[in-house]
């Protein structure tokens, strides 16, 4: 009986745990995202204010609007898309935050397949 009470108490304590997210800290600023494409490390730098995001990737600049769904989730939509695929908005959800960055999940709006990434905030 005592073991059952201990298991119940532990499950109660762990079910109340949730990772703290300070998403508001990342609504504005300069950021960097790294990913591997075809075995090569690629870096993207972007500058975000509350409603716009300017991305610099391989000397190409793209601008997207931001619509915040809540403090930790937003939709990006390219202002001047070059292709049909760039016309599709992207949903980004911040999963957890740290003082210098955050982990996020993203997908094309309307599609189920998601991917994850990590963004670092650049202190300038």
Domain boundaries, the chain: 21-122
Question: Among candidates 52, 58, 107, 101, which has minimal Cα distance to 80?
Answer: 52
- Fold classification of 21-122 is Lipocalin (2.40.128)
- pLDDT, residue 31, reads 96
At residue 75 the predicted structure's pLDDT band, cuts being 50, 70 and 90, is very high
Dump pLDDT digits (tens) for 8-34. 444 544 445 456 788 999 999 999 988
Dump pLDDT digits (tens) for 38-72. 888 888 999 999 899 999 988 899 999 999 999 99
Half-sphere exposure of 119 (CA within 13 A, CB side): 29
pTM for this one? Answer: 0.78
């Amino acid at each position: 009986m005592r073991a059952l009470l201990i298991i119940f108490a532990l499950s109660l304590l762990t079910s109340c745990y949730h990772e703290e997210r300070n998403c508001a800290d990342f609504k504005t600023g300069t950021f960097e995202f790294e990913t591997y494409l075809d075995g090569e490390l690629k870096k993207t730098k972007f500058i975000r204010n509350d409603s716009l995001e300017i991305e610099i990737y391989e000397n190409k600049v793209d601008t997207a609007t931001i619509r915040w769904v809540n403090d930790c989730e937003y939709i990006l939509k390219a202002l001047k898309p070059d292709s049909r695929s760039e016309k599709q908005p992207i949903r980004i959800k911040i999963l957890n935050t740290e003082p210098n960055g955050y982990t996020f999940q993203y997908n094309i709006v309307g599609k189920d397949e998601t991917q994850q990434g990590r963004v670092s905030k650049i202190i300038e």
